[in-house]
Each structure stands twice: as C-alpha cells, then as structure tokens.
Structure 1
Amino acid sequence: MSKQFTPADVATHNTADNGLYIIIDNSVFDVTKFIDEHPGGSKILKRVAGKDATKQFWKYHNESVLKKYAPKLKVGEVKDAAKL
C-alpha cells in the first residue's frame, strides 16, 4: 500500500531541505533528486513544489513521461477524503 498524503502534507515539501513533492493526478512524486535531470530545468519544479502540478504537467508532457518516471519518483497518493 502506498503512503497517503493530504495536500497540506505535500505543501510542507516545498524546499530542497524538506524535499520537493508535487501532485499529479492525485499521485505524489518526490522530485528532489530529479530537479537537475529535468529537461525543462529545475526552476519550474521548484516553482510547483508542494502543489498540485497536474495542469502544468499535462500541458507539456504526455503519458509516456509519467510511465517512465513514476516508478522511481512516486512516493504515495493524495487521500480520497482530502481531494477537492
């Protein structure tokens, strides 16, 4: 079973010291170690850290990107009760 997060939990992970977490389609990803590899640069990941980045992600990526990186970056899910 994957770890459960609330949006508030994810929001605390918005710096390199606390870890950089983002939400995409209710999945939580730790992009802390990925920021230097991100083809679009680290700046955009730092900007969305601690937030739901679903809209921004799908604007620039397709499903193959998520399938490629999810196994190593996904750390959990947003709790059903916490969804907006």
Structure 2
Amino acid sequence: MSKSFTKAEVAKHKDEKEGMFIIVDDGVYDVAGFLEEHPGGAKILKRMAGKDATKQFWKYHNQKVLDKYAGKLKVGTVADSAKL
C-alpha cells in the first residue's frame, strides 16, 4: 500500500534528516540516499527537495530512468487536491 502525501507534506522534507522528497508526475520520491549516486550531482537534488520536479526531471531523463529507480526511491503518491 502506497502512502499519500499532500504537496505541503512533501515541502517539509527538504533535508537528509527529514528525507528529501521530490514529486515527479504523481509519485513522491525520497532522494536523500541517492545524492552521491546521482550522475548530475547532489546539488540539483538538494535544490529541488520538497518541490515538484516533474518538469526538470523529464527535461533530462526518460521513462527508463524512472522505471529503474522508482522501486528504490518511491515512498508514495501525491494526494489529489481539490481544484477550484
């Protein structure tokens, strides 16, 4: 069972102690343990922590990358928010 997070909850996870969550599409990923492995360096992951990184992710990655790491890094999904 996947945990559901609001965007406000994701925003609280911006450091290695609390976890570094990013959003890609509707998935929530904890990249804190991936900082040293990330080919693009830790800096970009730290900058995007707590935010929706969908646009930036798809600019530099394809579906194969998401498929490869999702099982290891995915911690949940983004809760649906009411649209006004």
* TM-score category (smaller protein): over 0.9
Q: CA RMSD in A?
A: 1.5
Q: TM-score, normalised by structure 2?
A: 0.95
Partner amino acid, structure 2, of 1:63:
Q
Q: Where does structure 1 differ by over 6 angstroms across 4 or more consecutive aligned residues?
A: none
Unaligned runs of 5+ in 1: none
Give the whole-Å Cα distance in 1 for the aligned partners of 2:20 and 2:45. Answer: 8
The reply on whether 1:27 has 2:27 as its aligned counterpart is: yes
Aligned partners of 1:7 and 1:82 also within 8 Å: no
* Residues 31/6 of structure 1: CA separation in 2 closer, same or farther (3 Å cut): same
Q: Percent identity?
A: 67
Tell me the alpha carbon deviations over residues 30-57 of structure 1, each in whole angstroms, 9 at most, x when there is no partner: 0010011000000000000000000000
* Superposition map of 1:33-72 within 5 A: 33-72=33-72
Give the whole-Å Cα distance in 2 for the aligned partners of 1:4 and 1:83. Answer: 18
- 1:17: how far off? 1.6
Equivalences, count: 84
* Residues 82/23 of structure 1: CA separation in 2 closer, same or farther (3 Å cut): farther
Aligned partners of 1:22 and 1:49 also within 8 Å: yes
Give the whole-Å Cα distance in 1 for the aligned partners of 2:5 and 2:82. Answer: 8
